[in-house]
Structure 1
Amino acid sequence: MSDSDAADDWRVVDSEAEYETPWYTGGYDLVEQPDGTTKKYYWAELPDAVVVVARDSDDLLFVDQYRPVIRAQCLELPAGIVEDGESYEAAAARELREETGFVPDETVLLQRAEAATGVLRHERGFVVATGLTEVGRELDTNEFLSVERVPVEEAVAVAREQPANDATLEGVLLAKEAGLLRP
């Protein structure tokens, strides 16, 4: 069955944005299901984001920051929103500089993926950054974080520590699969 055939079986009867915030829009689609019944499918729509796997020698750069939404301190890969007209690679370089103070010589897109497809309309790009030069950070006004170096051979274990962050875990596992975590 092709995607268009499947979509024909799931006709959107109505789509309603119920609220907007500076970070996302939330609403629902009233969908006619294949059996003819209808159901509201709720969603939140966020801008695209980038997750940066930044390798400096035999270390990956992580950021340590408090996440008020889950009320926890988190060790994560650098990440952020992709600005209008910006590629994932350009967003990765910008976010890496802002959060860690490093500028990469090269950025390569590893993977694009939809996040939490049961509730979000949100795509992430996972980008590897190499050839890093330290130039100084430019933190956003809501960023209170420190940079932590994690040896590549410990990256998977660190990413799995609670509270595990889905984007960090995915980025590290994609990097491992691509052979980028060898010392």
Structure 2
Amino acid sequence: MPSPSSRKTIHTWKHISLVEEQITLPNGKDIVHTTIAHPGAAVILPISEDGKIVMVNQFRPSLHKWLLELPAGTLESPENVEECAKRELEEETGFSAKEFIALGQVTPLAGFCDEIQYLFVAKGLSETCRYECDDDEVIEVVHLSIEELEQKIVNDEITDAKTIACVSKAKLCGYI
């Protein structure tokens, strides 16, 4: 791990920072590397009693388009990953869950970002209320069967990597 003196924060926005640091690679070469420092995120695959998957259709300003994806969100200090999953599920969909099953983690952008996404299946859903979204969030809640969800992945109607990863992991583990 680099010493704190070799790290320089270039820019901070919300919970993320652009950090430049001097590091020595395993081959002994010294480089300056720029990383997006991210606190991590929770990704939730909510399964309703009728087997539908609760998803969000979210406008993504970075892409200037809507993405159909699983509910997810960034960890807020000092919450743990399951607390984050519970909070984000309720904020984005208006559902709470009796059970959260951890599926492990993925590293979505390891070339330039240290974010780890923690994957969950949520079962025993109960409707609560949606909280006010962040200023840059525009979200519609959508319910899809697993067959509809998988077909949308095949047809490139769902291109969100965290969604595809979480659905794949849940299927491989036998939850869907």
Percent identity between the two aligned chains: 26
Displacement after TM superposition at 1:71 (Å): 1.2
Q: Choose which of 41, 44, 47 in structure 2 pairs with 1:49.
A: 41
Query: Structure 1 residues 131 and 65 mapped into 2: Cα distance closer, same or farther (>3 Å)?
Result: same
Displacement after TM superposition at 1:89 (Å): 1.9
Unaligned stretches of 5+ residues in structure 1: 1-6
CA distance in 1, matches of 2:37, 2:134: 23
The answer to which of 40-49 and 133-142 deviates more is: 133-142
Indicate the RMSD between aligned Cα atoms, in angstroms.
2.1
Matched residue, 1:106: 99
CA distance in 2, matches of 1:94, 1:37: 43
Q: Does 1:94 align with 2:63?
A: no
1:121 match: secondary structure: coil
Q: Which 4+ residue blocks in structure 1 deviate beyond 6 angstroms?
A: none
Report the AA paired with residue 155 of structure 1.
L
Residues paired across the two proteins, number: 172
Displacement after TM superposition at 1:33 (Å): 3.4
Query: Structure 1 residues 162 and 43 mapped into 2: Cα distance closer, same or farther (>3 Å)?
Result: farther
Query: Structure 1 residues 16 and 149 mapped into 2: Cα distance closer, same or farther (>3 Å)?
Result: same
1:17-62 deviations in Å (ceiling 9; x for gaps): 2222223111222223355432222101112110000001221111
Structure 2 matches for 1:118-157, cutoff 5 A?
118-142=111-135, 143-157=137-151
Unaligned stretches of 5+ residues in structure 2: none
CA distance in 1, matches of 2:78, 2:37: 18
